[in-house]
Chains A and B, each alone.
Chain A
Amino acid sequence: MQDPTLSRAQPHHDAEELIPWYLTGQLDDEDLAMVEHHLSSCAHCRRQLAAERRMIDEFAQLSPQIDSGWARLRQRIDVPQPRERLWDKLRGQAAELWESLSRPAIATLAVAQLAFVVAAGAILLSLGQPDYRTLGSAPAPSSANVIAMFRAETTEAQLRDLLQSNGASLVDGPTAGGAYLLRVQASSRPQVVARLRGDRHVLMAQPIDGPAS
């Protein structure tokens, strides 16, 4: 039920209300037609239109001095390590390993090595590594970067000597498959891996990059 005293003013009020969105081009066809029809006959609203357009332009010049805080925000972001990507990497490493096999005696170990590499991936994901990591933080110094397997008859003393002589430390293991995760100096990793591969106690040694490296 509309107040009869408002009937004459209502179209004016309705149109006047919509002037801001008329100016910013945010009216649908029905509203647009209504406002334009009213503007054609209302000098008051046309003056408002002109004044408000200038006011909007002035307001647009006001910019709060808020610096981009991306670096600050990034500190708060945890990125779930995409497991598929890691598995792809591990599969790639396993394939490279397969191709690099040159000694027939070791070829028989290839299948087992593949299993170890995959198992190591699971360990890297589950042992000592949270599902999320904070961006911007340095890789954990204890992260494994080599996976190795030793002959069953290797003694603890032999293993210790082998690790010490190569500057390697034990990060984790043994896995269910008998593999160990080692940390060696990144700069000398290729040489260490080569030496390990040449050692009679070592069945397999392979560079590996975990989630945090």
Chain B
Amino acid sequence: MSASGTASRPTTGASASGAPGERELLERVKMHDLDAFERLYRIYQPRLARFLTNLVKRPQLVEEVLDDTMMVVWNTAASFRGTSKLSTWVFAIAYRKALKARMRWPDPLEDQQFDNRVSNDAAPDAELEQSRIRSALVDAMEGLSAEQRAVVDLTYFHDLGYREIAEILGCPVDTVKTRMFHARRRLRQALSGTLADWL
């Protein structure tokens, strides 16, 4: 899939997956180059942390699944043939690991990470407003299914196309589109009160 869109793109902070640098690092990881693996880890750790936080709610479980994912990368790098993007491969591993973790550990009743993500401590008015918006967004995300959150996250945060997302989640392309469509509708409904001025 070519990323040929000319629309202005949001600043998500996510780097394009499959960049030559990452592939070079993986080739070195195949040779058990620990420095290369650390660099690869530091590229993927924030991305996976964000992705997994939307899938498994317990911070310790996020760490565990993230580590398990990267251990699979370390141990099976040689099996990566390059037929897909590196990010597709890594996220697919993470998704499968997260699903297994979710079976072992259902979501807690309260989202413990919520307080970490949105802090209201001693914030000026503008920041309080911003914090309120973000709280609403987090709440809105909480209302989605795990599968919908995965699609939203991979689309909005990680700049992945729907075909690549389908590959990661192991589902048909139309399912990705449908999940995203319904997720957006639910997000809009959930945010309609808080963000009435721009929805």
Which positions in A face B, CB cutoff 8 Å? Answer: 16-18, 20-29, 32, 50-66, 68-70, 72-74, 76-77, 79-80, 82, 135
Q: What is the CB-to-nearest-CB distance from B13 to chain A, in angstroms, rounded to a whole number?
A: 6
A25 and B6 contact, Cβ closer than 8 Å, known pairs A64-B113, A65-B113, A73-B67: yes
Pairs across A and B, CB under 8 Å, 28 listed: A18-B177, A20-B156, A21-B155, A23-B5, A24-B5, A24-B155, A25-B159, A26-B155, A26-B161, A27-B5, A27-B161, A32-B4, A51-B198, A52-B184, A55-B156, A56-B10, A56-B12, A59-B156, A60-B156, A61-B130, A63-B50, A64-B49, A64-B117, A66-B66, A70-B38, A73-B71, A77-B74, A79-B32
| A23 contact set on B, CB distance < 8 A | 5, 7-10
Does B180 touch A at the CB level, under 8 Å?
yes
Which of under 10, 10 to 19, 20 to 34, or 35 or more describes the interface residues of B? Answer: 35 or more
**Which applies to chain A's interface (DSSP): helix, strand, loop or mixed?**
helix
Inter-chain contact B32/A55, CB cutoff 8 Å: no
Q: Identify which of B5, B66, B74, B156 gathers the most chain A CB atoms within 10 Å of its CB.
A: B5
Q: Would you call the interface of chain B mostly helix, strand, loop, or mixed?
A: helix
Contact status A22-B32, CB under 8 Å: no
Please tell me if the beta carbons of A70 and B41 are within 8 angstroms of each other in the complex.
yes
- Cβ-based interface call for B87 (8 A): no
Q: Which of A25, A57, A73 contacts B70 (CB 8 A)?
A: A73
Nearest A-chain residue to B159, judged by Cβ: A24
Tell me which residues across on chain B come within 8 A of A18, comparing CB atoms. 162, 177
Q: Count of A-B contacts with CB under 8 A? A: 144
Q: Provided the pairs A22-B5, A60-B12, A60-B13 are in contact, do residues A68 and B113 lie with their beta carbons within 8 angstroms?
A: no
Nearest chain A residue, comparing its CB with the CB of B177: A17
Is A21 within 8 A of B162, CB to CB? Answer: yes
Smallest beta-carbon distance B9→chain A, Å = 5
Residues from 1 to 46 in B contacting A, C-beta threshold 8 Å? 1-13, 31-32, 34, 37-38, 41-42, 45-46
Taking a contact as CB atoms under 8 Å apart, the answer to whether B2 and A60 are in contact is no
Q: Is the CB of B34 within 8 A of A77?
A: yes
Contact A53 B2, beta carbon cutoff 8 Å: no
Q: A-B pairs with the 4 shortest C-beta distances? A: A25-B5, A66-B49, A26-B161, A64-B53
Minimal Cβ-Cβ distance residue in A for B161:
A26
The answer, among A26, A55, A69, A79, for a CB contact under 8 Å with B162, is A26
Q: Which residues of B contact A56 (CB under 8 A)?
A: 10, 12, 156
- B155 surroundings in chain A (CB, below 8 A): 20-21, 24, 26
Q: Are A58 and B133 closer than 8 Å at their CB atoms?
A: yes
Is B34 a contact of A25 with CB atoms below 8 Å?
Answer: no
- Check B50 against A64 for contact (C-beta < 8 Å): yes
In the assembly, what is the distance between CA of A162 and CA of B66, in Å? 54
Q: A27-B161, A28-B1 are in contact. Are A22 and B7 (CB under 8 A)?
A: yes
B95-121 interface code vs A (CB 8 A; 1 in, 0 out): 000000000000000000100111000
What chain B residues lie within 8 Å of A66 (beta carbons)? 45-46, 49, 53, 59, 62-63, 66
